[in-house]
């Protein structure tokens, strides 16, 4: 699920399609704002109060119906979602494992190391890093993984290949083409966040 979405709702549309409509879009994404800004900014513009407890309760509803629930954050660990809380606070409240996703390009090392460092001071969960492939495989993309693993050992760093442009029309077919590789990577992610304890 993706509790908060601001701006285009293509991520939510994709999750809805991939789950073959088994879950409504309002369950997948209970807090939506049309403006592409931080959720707290959007909520203030609409004079809407969304408390941390309400968010956690919405997540728990789907968790109770799932074997594994993947909850997508909104813009990064420290993005303010509501008055007085950010993505990190939801992670803490859920006491869940964390998958840090980053585009595998120049700047990924700094992004990942800062995020994991921040996580360590805020939550006591398990962490896995996933580098998302980009269309052009630069020298940085070829070397990021080994340096991140060296810096974060024993946290595992996994990769997902470039799956095509982020068009809602292309992604389901592209995902199907890479289905075996993605399932294998997802299984490794589940194993990593289950076994790696900080």
Q: What is the pLDDT of residues 170-193, one digit of tens each?
A: 566 777 777 787 788 888 888 877
More confident of the two residues 173 and 20: 20
Residue 169 annotated to the active site: no
Q: At a CB cut-off of 8 Å and minimum separation 6, what does 164 contact?
A: 170, 171, 174
Q: Are 83 and 38 contained in the same domain?
A: yes
What pLDDT is attached to residue 62?
93
71 with 101, same domain? Answer: no
Backbone angles phi, psi at 142, to 5 degrees: -80, -20
Question: Per-residue pLDDT tens for 106-148?
Answer: 999 999 999 999 998 887 778 999 999 888 889 999 999 999 9
Q: Which of the four pLDDT bands, split at 50, 70 and 90, describes residue 196?
A: very low
d(CA 95, CA 93): 6
Q: Tell me, what CATH number does 19's domain have?
A: 3.40.50.300
* Residue after which a domain boundary falls, among 62, 94, 126: 94
Domain identity same for 170 and 104:
yes
Q: Do 7 and 81 belong together in one domain?
A: yes
Instruction: Give the residue numbers spanning the domain of 101.
Output: 97-198
Q: Is the pLDDT of residue 13 over 70?
A: yes
**154-170 per-position pLDDT tens digit:** 998 998 888 766 545 55
**2, 105, 176, 184: the active-site residue:** 2
HSE toward the beta carbon, residue 133, CA cutoff 13 A: 14
Please count the structural domains in the chain.
2
Among 63, 94, 125, the domain-final residue is 94
Say if residue 56 is in the same domain as residue 131: no
**Pair (146, 85) in one structural domain:** no
Q: Domain check: are 129 and 188 in the same one? A: yes
Task: Report the alpha-carbon distance of residue 166 to residue 67 in Å, rounded.
Answer: 27
Looking at the structure, tell me whether residues 49 and 2 fall in a common domain: yes
Q: What is the mean pLDDT of the chain?
A: 88
User: Is 89 in the same domain as 114?
Assistant: no
49-100: per-residue pLDDT in tens? 999 999 999 999 999 988 889 999 988 999 999 999 999 999 999 999 899 9
Q: Which pLDDT score is estimated for 192?
A: 79
- Tell me, yes or no, whether 114 and 146 share the same domain: yes
How far apart are alpha carbons 165 and 169 in whole angstroms?
10
108 and 21 part of one domain? no
> Could you tell me what percent of the chain has a pLDDT over 70?
92
Burial class (CB in 10 A: 0-12, 13-18, 19+), 93: middle
Q: Does position 195 have pLDDT exceeding 70, yes or no?
A: no
pLDDT for res 166: 56
Q: 69 and 14, same structural domain?
A: yes
Domain boundary among 70, 94, 118: 94
Give me the pLDDT at residue 79, please: 94
């Amino acid at each position: 699920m993706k509790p908060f979405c601001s701006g285009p709702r293509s991520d939510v549309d994709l999750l809805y399609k991939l789950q073959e409509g088994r879950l409504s879009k309002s369950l997948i994404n209970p807090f939506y704002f049309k403006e592409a800004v931080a959720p707290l900014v959007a909520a203030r513009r609409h004079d809407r109060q969304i408390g941390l407890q309400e968010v956690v309760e919405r997540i728990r509803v789907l968790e109770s119906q799932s074997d594994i629930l993947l909850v997508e954050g909104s813009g990064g660990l420290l993005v303010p979602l509501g008055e007085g809380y950010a993505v990190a606070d939801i992670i803490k409240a859920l006491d869940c494992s964390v998958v840090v996703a980053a585009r595998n390009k120049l700047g990924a090392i700094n992004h990942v190391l800062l995020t994991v460092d921040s996580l360590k001071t805020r939550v006591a969960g398990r962490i896995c890093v996933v580098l998302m492939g980009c269309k052009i495989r630069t020298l940085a993309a070829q070397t990021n993984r080994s340096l991140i693993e060296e810096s974060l050992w024993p946290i595992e760093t996994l990769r997902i290949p470039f799956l095509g442009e982020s068009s809602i029309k292309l992604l389901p077919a592209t995902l199907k083409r890479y289905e075996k590789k993605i399932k294998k990577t997802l299984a490794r992610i589940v194993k990593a966040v289950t076994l790696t304890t900080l």
